[in-house]
Amino acid sequence: MLLTGPEGLKALTAAYETGHALPGFVAYNLESVQGIVAAAEAHPGRPVLIQAGSSPFKHAGREPLMRLALDAAAHSDAPLGVHLDHSRDLDEITACLEAGYTSVMVDGSHLPFPENIALTREAVRRVRDHGAWVEAELGALAGDEDVSTNASASVNVMTDPSQAAEFVAETSVDALAVAVGNVHGFTAAPVRLDLNRLAAIHSAVPVPLVLHGASGLPEEQLLGALSRGVAKVNVNAELRRAYLRAVSARLPAALPGSDAVGLWSAGRDAVTEAASRIITRLTPSPTS
């Protein structure tokens, strides 16, 4: 079922209050959407976000992917939100809200601080008009959202705790994405989050924090983030890698008979398996 904006915000708040996190899975095509939905259905009662956002729109087209994600959520028994990830375009934000998105992330992290505030304020106004919830970003992550390139956290612009407090107060966002050593994609060496900085941000702001670039994050680092205010975790590269490895393994058997369906199914199932592992790590069983 497609969560309403208030239901999605309630799920985010519940995760924040219990030291868990909503998984936000980036989707690019039919198979990745299906794989994410199947993983959510395998874990009843645990809310999941399908993140059909700006970068995947470049591949699939905004309207087709937007409709695909919304329809998949609406026709599932699992509690699913549909989230616009990393949008810098107010018209895109409005279009997704009008279509039925339950949350959006406005990304002004590339802008000077005052301009980030101004962009985020306008996005918040539009989001409120549609009953959704909004995430913003302060600080900047290294790496490419679509291609894992061994990015280094050394080039990150880290989130400043005092600036974060001012930003949240000025914009009234519902959640804040932060840069604390996390990067987009996999890295050659294990990621080490600045947990002290994360704790300081958590103390300074009254809203849930969001961790982008969680693919491949060591377990102790992930648990450290969840205990310091992170209540939404974005995963992209881990699903892409699972899909590509499954497709590559299936390809030799698929080629002789042109078995494209078998190839796509293998990729979809790999996404389901990877997403299921992450859901288990991030969210408690409803009966626990």
H/E element, 60: helix 54-60
Per the listing, tokens 């058997």 go with 253
Report the C-alpha gap between 75 and 234 in whole angstroms. 23
Beta strands in the chain (DSSP E): 22-26, 48-51, 80-87, 103-106, 133-138, 175-178, 209-211, 230-235
Q: Which of 77, 85, 107, 144 is catalytic?
A: 85
Give yes or no: 85 in active site: yes
Secondary element (H or E) of residue 68? helix 62-74
Strands (DSSP E) contained in 215-287 are: 230-235
Q: Report the distance separating Cα 43 and Cα 98, nearest Å.
A: 29
Cα separation, 86 vs 145, in Å, equals 9
Q: What is the DSSP letter of 153?
A: G
* CA–CA separation, 108 and 157 (whole Å): 13
Residue carrying structure tokens 């294990």: 190
Give the residue numbers annotated as catalytic, written as ranges.
Answer: 85
